[in-house]
Amino acid sequence: MNPPNLDKTDIGILRLLQQDALLSNKQLALELNKSTATIHERVRRLKSEGYIKRSVAIVDGKKIGKSLIAYSQVQLKEHTDSALSSFEKEVVKFPEVMECYHMTGAFDFILRIVISDMDAYHNFLRSKLAQLSNIGTVQSFFVMSEIKTETAYPL
Amino acid sequence: MNPPNLDKTDIGILRLLQQDALLSNKQLALELNKSTATIHERVRRLKSEGYIKRSVAIVDGKKIGKSLIAYSQVQLKEHTDSALSSFEKEVVKFPEVMECYHMTGAFDFILRIVISDMDAYHNFLRSKLAQLSNIGTVQSFFVMSEIKTETAYPL
DNA sequence: GGTGAAAGCGATGCATA
DNA sequence: TATGCATCGCTTTCACC
């Protein structure tokens, strides 16, 4: 399943738009040796079929005062379906939680939390996260340095 | 530092472009009650000053055969500056490692690894990650379900 | 710094192969 | 399905406020 139903041109489009979503069809056409009309149709198809989910601007978190990134591992007390659903439903409401995954292994969920500083994190933990029902343990780890942050899949 | 040196129009632009990088200046202008020329100048400034780092297409990993996401916690044996730098220099070369952070706490690095399946992960671990010098322990956790994956900072 | 208008350029739809 | 062409609309610049 690699490539699935994508030809070389489709792969090329995905590779290039993952690096820069603002590339014009003209630039893509030049790079991939196709006409702009062909590229236009391919891009339309890649979007309508869901290969490209969306295009977003990546903002510098530090420049807008989000200087602290935490990864918090959450273990729940109960693991019934309704307990899991209830946690998921509540945690996604917190704007500080930018990512949340249900995991295998020693804990249940991992959260990526983005916030201004440690005081704010402390406050978030005490007044928001720990207030949810069914929270067992929360273990927090903080990013000291970002070594690699890639949004583009290798193709 | 919230807002730093950004006015309401700048914040609005960041908020909207974080949701959809392909919005036209005309659409932004309509939404924010400014002229297209003003929006054009503001967007140019936000990019040149680094508030907007880049614009990217978000591709559906599962549709291109990247069905397994792992978070792997790596502990090194030695923690000299050169040992840390050496690990960082090597690990970023792996295309499977889309994110890598140097962390506080019980382990040194957390890696987000995106790959086709568990067989491929096993192979990656044995033939690539564990081959790096100075690796102490690697603990792997796998994503069962994505609850929230947000790229936009709350503004 | 913001605006409106003019000019240039790319996006978009279509007829054709 | 891919292409060239023609039209339309947005981007970009500039003189002015």
A155 has a chain B CB within 8 A of its CB: yes
Going from the C-alpha of A103 to that of each of A78, A86, A100, B71, the distances in angstroms are: 15, 16, 9, 9
Q: Is B110 on the interface with A (CB under 8 A)?
A: yes
> For residue B95, is the peptide bond before it cis, meaning its omega torsion is within 30 degrees of 0?
no
Tell me, in Å, how far CA of A57 is from C1' of D5? 34
B151 is written with which tokens? Answer: 């790229």
- Statement: residue B9 has pLDDT above 60: yes
Share the mean pLDDT of chain A. 96
Q: Where are the domains of chain A?
A: 8-49, 61-142
> Which CATH number, 2.60.40.3080, 1.20.1440.230, 3.30.160.340, 1.10.10.10, labels domain B8-49?
1.10.10.10
Q: Is B1 within 8 Å of A65 when comparing Cβ atoms?
A: yes
Task: Say what the pLDDT of residue B3 is.
Answer: 53
| B21: nearest CB among A2, A21, A64 | A21
Cβ–Cβ < 8 Å for B38, B91: no
Q: How far apart are CA B61 and CA B155, in angstroms?
A: 27
Report how far residue A58's alpha carbon sits from residue A44's, in angstroms, rounded to the nearest whole number: 22
HEC-encoded secondary structure of chain A: CCCCCCCHHHHHHHHHHHHCCCCCHHHHHHHHCCCHHHHHHHHHHHHHCCCEEEEEEEECCHHHCCCEEEEEEEEECCCCHHHHHHHHHHHCCCCCEEEEEEECCCCCEEEEEEECCHHHHHHHHHHCHHHCCCEEEEEEEEEEEEEEECCCCCC
A103-146 per-position pLDDT tens digit: 999 999 999 999 999 999 999 999 999 999 999 999 999 999 99
Q: Report, at the CATH architecture level, how domain B61-142 is classified.
A: 2-Layer Sandwich (3.30)
Q: What is the pTM of this model?
A: 0.94
Closest residue to D14 measured CA to C1′: B37
Please say if the pLDDT value at position A35 is more than 90.
Answer: yes
**Do the first three CATH levels of A8-49 and A61-142 match, i.e. the same topology?**
no
Report the footprint of strand C: residues with C-beta closer than 7 angstroms.
A 24-26, 36-37, 40; B 9, 34-38, 41-42
What pLDDT band is residue A3 in, cutting at 50, 70 and 90?
low
A56 contacts B58? CB cut-off 8 A: yes
Q: C-alpha angle B36/B50/B47, rounded to 5°? A: 25
Whether residue A3 is preceded by a cis peptide bond, meaning omega within 30 degrees of 0, is: yes
CA distance B136 to chain A (A): 19
Report, as an integer, the average pLDDT of A73-94. 97
Give the CA A38 to C1' C17 distance in Å.
Answer: 15
Q: What is the mean pLDDT of chain B?
A: 96
Chain A contact for B22, CB < 8 A?
A: yes
Residue-wise pLDDT for B19-33, tens only, equals: 999 999 999 999 999
Contact of A90 with B89, CB cutoff 8 Å: no
